[in-house]
């Protein structure tokens, strides 16, 4: 039996987000909100482990009341219950304050039943910081396993988990002690096509809401007050210089290409 918590975030659909070039801020007005894509894979991972080892999956989100929608999505994918952390006092939290609040909520869940695994997406597609997951792990003192692309297995006896981490050009197989926090990449799994009974159950479910008073929190560490980060500037990275197009007949073009590759010492001259 595994007690699992998945942190999910409601993010603007970046396919439709624009940056205001004058103020350098995201133009979020009218942009539909979706479940952060990496978080969807985190939910799937937790549900798959539940199906294999038994247990319970709690979806956890911090956000405005509308964030209920992504929690319902998690329920439709097989999470057993959902908790929304919603309070005006949380508004303006940066990654430091957010991980503080989420960690406090996980501690509260842990007091009911000890938590074995926490799942997060590797990063949210709006802020792209990838800091909240590790932040929670550090605060809870959980084993921190980031960029997980495969879960080999959980040893319930030894209280260990073995995962594969996605690195730049290789994968790293490591074993860690439970309780652990995993941040996951999309390669980890294929998202399921939810069954109708699951969707109906999710649509009907009541979502528990916790405010700041339900958690053990230092008021100075949450919201704007607890957020030392200030954003100076957001900008799209400069476009990569375009490649070179070699025109002409295939035979000639190939000859030019080879000459260039030799010239840049990518291939050896024979």
Partner 1 sequence: MAERFEVVVVGAGPAGLAAALTLARAGVEVIVFERGEHPGSKNVMGGVLYRHPTEAVVPGFYHQAPLERPVVEQRLWLLTGEAALTLGYKDMVFAGEPFNAFTVLRARFDRWLADQAVAAGALLINETVVEDLLWENERVVGVRTGREGGDVRAEVVVLAEGANSLLTQKAGLKPDGINTNQLAVAVKEIIALPREKIEDRFNLEEGQGCTIELLGEATKGMLGTAFIYTNKDSLSVGVGVLLASLVRRRLNPNDLLEHLKSHPMVRSLLAGGESKEYQGHLIPEGGYQAVPKLYGNGVLVVGDAAMLVNGVHREGSNLALTSGLLAARTILAAREKGDYSEANLAPYRRALEESFVLKDLKKYQGASFFFDQNPQFFTLYPGLLSRAAREFLTVDNVPKRAKQKRILREITAARSRFQIARDLYSLWRVMG
List residues near partner 1 by CB under 8 A.
Answer: 30, 32, 193-197, 199-200, 203-204
CB of 194 to partner 1, least distance (A): 7
Q: Considering the complex, what minimum distance in angstroms separates the CB of residue 55 from partner 1?
A: 22
Closest distance of CB 65 from partner 1, Å:
12
Q: In the complex with partner 1, which residue's Cβ is closer, 197 or 238?
A: 197
Min dist CB 34 to partner 1, Å, is 9
- As measured in angstroms, the least distance from the Cβ of 198 to partner 1 is 8
E-strand ranges in the chain read: 2-7, 10-12, 18-19, 26-27, 33-35, 55-62, 81-85, 117-121, 143-155, 160-166, 171-177, 180-184, 208-210
CB of 10 to partner 1, least distance (A): 14
For the beta sheet containing 208-210, the strands, ordered from the edge strand earlier in sequence to the opposite edge, are 171-177, 160-166, 143-155, 180-184, 117-121, 2-7, 55-62, 81-85, 208-210
Task: Tell which residue, 13, 112, 17, has the closest CA to residue 69.
Answer: 13
**Rounded CA gap, 162 and 26, in Å?**
39
Quick one: CA torsion of 169, 173, 177, 180, rounded to 10 degrees? Answer: 40
Min dist CB 32 to partner 1, Å, is 7
Nearer to partner 1, 200 or 246 (CB): 200
For residue 116, give every residue at least 6 positions away whose Cβ sits within 8 Å of its Cβ, in sequence order, or none. Answer: 2, 3, 4, 55, 159, 178, 179, 180
Grouping H, G, I as helix, E, B as strand and the rest as coil, residue 199 is helix
Q: Which is nearer to partner 1, 23 or 113 (CB)?
A: 23
Q: Residue 150 or residue 198: which is nearer to partner 1 going by CB?
A: 198
* CB closer to partner 1 out of 204 and 232: 204
In angstroms, the CA 69 to CA 74 distance is: 9
Indicate the residue among 41 and 212 with the shorter CB distance to partner 1: 41
- Pick the closer one to partner 1 by CB: 29 or 220: 29
Q: What share of the chain is helix, strand, coil (3-state, %, to 5)?
A: 35, 25, 40
């Amino acid at each position: 039996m595994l007690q699992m918590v998945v942190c999910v975030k409601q993010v603007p659909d970046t396919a439709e987000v624009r940056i205001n070039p004058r103020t350098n801020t995201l133009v979020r007005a009218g942009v539909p909100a979706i479940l952060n894509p990496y978080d969807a894979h985190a939910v799937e991972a937790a549900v798959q482990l539940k199906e294999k080892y038994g247990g319970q999956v709690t979806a956890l989100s911090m956000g405005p009341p509308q964030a209920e929608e992504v929690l319902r999505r998690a329920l439709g994918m097989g999470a057993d219950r959902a908790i929304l952390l919603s309070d005006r006092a949380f508004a303006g939290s940066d990654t430091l304050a957010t991980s503080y609040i989420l960690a406090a909520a996980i501690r509260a869940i842990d007091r009911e039943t000890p938590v074995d695994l926490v799942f997060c997406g590797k990063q949210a597609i709006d802020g792209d910081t990838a800091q909240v997951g590790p932040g929670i792990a550090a605060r809870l003192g959980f084993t921190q396993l980031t960029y997980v692309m495969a879960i080999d297995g959980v040893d319930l006896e030894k209280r260990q988990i073995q995962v594969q981490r996605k690195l730049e050009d290789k994968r790293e197989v490591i074993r860690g002690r439970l309780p652990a926090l995993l941040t996951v990449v999309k390669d980890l799994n294929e998202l399921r096509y939810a069954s109708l009974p699951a969707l109906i159950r999710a649509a009907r479910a009541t979502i528990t809401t916790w405010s700041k008073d339900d958690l053990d929190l230092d008021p100075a560490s949450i919201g704007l007050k607890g957020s030392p980060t200030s954003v100076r500037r957001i900008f799209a990275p400069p476009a990569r210089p375009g490649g070179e197009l070699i025109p002409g007949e295939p035979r000639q073009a190939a000859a030019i290409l080879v000459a260039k590759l030799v010239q840049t010492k990518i291939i050896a001259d024979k």
